[in-house]
Amino acid sequence: MKLRININRFQEYALSIFIIVFMSQRSFMSLNGYMFGHENAMYRRLQFVIISFLALSFLASFSVCVKRLRKGAVLTYFFVLFLFGFTYIFADGAKYVIDNENLFSNIFIYGLTGFILMQMVEDYAVFFKTLRLIGYGVVIYSTVIVLYGSIGTGYMGFSYAILLYVIALLYSGLFQKNNLSLLFGIVGTIVNISGGTRGSLLSLFALLLAFLLFSKRWKLVVLFLCLSAIFTLNFSRILQYASEIMRVMGFNSRIVGAILGTEMSSLSDANGRISILNVSLELIRKNWLFGYGFLGERAYINSRIWWFTTNGYAHNLVIEILLQFGIIVGSALLFMFVYKIVYYIRRFENNSMCGIIMIFLCYCVHLAVSRSYATTFEFWCLLGLLWRYPHKIVNTRLESRGELYE
């Protein structure tokens, strides 16, 4: 009996490792590229190590994956595939965009797979512990990269590569009172901010606000909101002081330069996002009822914004959904999504499943200003988690074993 329990636990860890490494394989290779360069022999060795971890963890958890493959998740996968095929065949210009951006593999191999895999997880304490342990390594590695590597123009990829792990460590530190995690989370936050992406800042702010709200520290919530308002109203002045301090210290953060407009992509034009927003709203007004189909709006955005070739999208989750599915269906989808989030928030408990949902939810906040939900693995993971929540059998089993925060 004890041997069987140990085997089951081993498979849970193997499944968790497989999901996390599969989710982050591209991010890990990006980090290796910043550290060693893409032509370096060490880069290729580390690529082999990552592939080996994937293969071994998949083989170790294969029987569990087959056993827990859920019919609803598979049907959802093929329904999205049907929408994709319909757009690919019938939408104007969609075939060219999809082929050139390699959207099929980005969505159906590296994206939507997260929806299926996260519904296979049953021991959320094991998944959380695995995420946290890998997070320690990611923060150490990313710190070394900032000090000795070369990020170059890959600031956005760098920030998003480590963001989920930073959020996980901060959650563990703040909600679970894990001091080691809090220390690593703070270091990770500093490293992440050095990448200078607004989306990362939004996600980190979301986690801090969630902590203050759920801990019912209302005075701090009010103080946090007031400071945020003051910061917003005195944006340029505060950042000019921050920029001078950083320059004196010899630390050049891209986000300060970007916000002040000293770099090409300043917040004054929000990397052209105002133009993207205006074009997107115009497209919604022209076809508000039915939308342009799943991914079908991209060809229209590309044709109206000169700096896009095939990579144009709305850079906002809500706008992207409305563009693709129209006001009626799009609003219904968004309502269901918000309903599940509100349902989760109202029943929030300080346990592993709720913690994992919170981590992925805060991570996905950045989809309000950056990236596309369709190709974001973590977004589909979040949907998979919300789909199953609350999973009473799992929660009861974990609580009875006392493994919520092992």
The domain ranges of the chain are 2-401
pLDDT tens for each residue of 132-191: 999 999 999 999 998 888 877 677 888 999 999 999 999 999 999 999 999 999 999 989
Helix axes 198-214, 218-233, angle to 10 degrees: 150
> How far from 376 is each of 61, 112, 143, 365, CA to CA, in Å?
24, 8, 24, 12
pLDDT tens for each residue of 22-75: 999 999 999 999 999 888 899 999 999 999 999 999 999 999 999 999 999 999
Q: Is the preceding omega at residue 390 within 30 degrees of 0, hence cis?
A: yes
Residue 22's closest CA among 141, 146, 116?
116
Confidence tier at 244 by pLDDT (50, 70, 90) = low
- CA gap 374, 112 in Å, rounded: 8
C-alpha dihedral (376, 39, 28, 35), degrees to nearest 10: -120
- CA gap 143, 135 in Å, rounded: 12
Number of residues assigned to the chain: 406
pLDDT tens for each residue of 77-120: 999 999 999 999 998 888 999 999 899 999 998 889 999 999 99
Q: Can you tell me whether residue 199 is helix, strand or coil?
A: helix
Please work out, in degrees rounded to the nearest 5, the angle formed at the alpha carbon of residue 115 by the alpha carbons of 110 and 120.
110
Least confident of 137-146, 203-212, 251-260: 251-260
Residue 402 has pLDDT above 50, yes or no: no
